[in-house]
């Protein structure tokens, strides 16, 4: 699930984290006109949930910052599934290009 990390913050509460600027696709994201910050990655997560993993909707919350993406909640399995989806995008420039193109075509706007 690299570069994302999933850990238990307190008993029964989990956080999925990504340090912005540490992925293999940062340069691609910039070429596509976006800033690879935590807010952009929240958009990636939201778009993935809405298009590829609708069963995850509402099972966790987001709390990104400029330097970090964060999703959190009590449903470890949901966060694990999101992390797996996001790590595949974070490691594959072609998949990132396809995701941004699909998001743009759908009228989705990244908040970066």
- Confirm whether 110 is domain-assigned: no
List, for residues 99-109, the tens digit of each pLDDT value: 999 999 999 99
- Per-residue pLDDT tens for 30-72? 999 999 999 999 999 999 999 999 999 999 999 999 999 999 9
For residue 97, being part of any structural domain is answered with yes
Count of domains forming the chain: 1
Please state, in angstroms and as integers, the Cα–Cα distance from residue 110 to each residue in 24, 28, 74, 78, following that order. Answer: 19, 15, 26, 22
The number of angstroms, rounded, from the C-alpha of 110 to the middle of its chain's C-alpha atoms is 11
Containing domain of residue 35, as a range?
A: 5-104
DSSP sequence for 9-32: EETTEEEEEEETT-STTHHHHHHT
CATH number at residue 32: 3.30.1370
- The pLDDT-based confidence of 95 (bands split at 50, 70, 90) is very high
38 occurs within a structural domain = yes
**pLDDT the model gives residue 38:** 97
Residue 111 resides in a domain: no
Please list, in sequence order, all residues whose beta carbon lies within 8 angstroms of the beta carbon of residue 29, skipping any fewer than 6 positions away: 23, 35, 36, 40, 96, 100
pLDDT interval class at 1 (50, 70, 90): confident
| Global model pTM greater than 0.85 | yes
State yes or no: pLDDT of 112 exceeds 90: no
Question: Does residue 112 fall inside a structural domain?
Answer: no
Residue 45 covered by a domain: yes
Residue 57: predicted pLDDT: 97
What are 46's two structure tokens? Answer: 């939201």
Decide if 23 is inside a domain: yes
């Amino acid at each position: 699930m690299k570069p994302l990390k999933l850990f238990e913050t307190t008993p029964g509460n989990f956080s999925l984290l990504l340090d912005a600027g540490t992925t293999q696709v940062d340069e691609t994201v910039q070429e596509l006109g976006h800033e690879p910050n935590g807010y952009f990655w929240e958009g990636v997560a939201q778009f993935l949930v809405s298009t590829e993993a609708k069963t995850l909707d509402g099972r966790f919350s987001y709390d990104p910052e400029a330097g970090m993406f964060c999703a959190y909640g009590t449903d470890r399995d949901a966060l694990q599934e999101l992390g797996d989806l996001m790590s595949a995008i974070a490691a594959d420039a072609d998949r990132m290009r396809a995701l941004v193109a699909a998001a743009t075509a759908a009228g989705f706007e990244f908040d970066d």
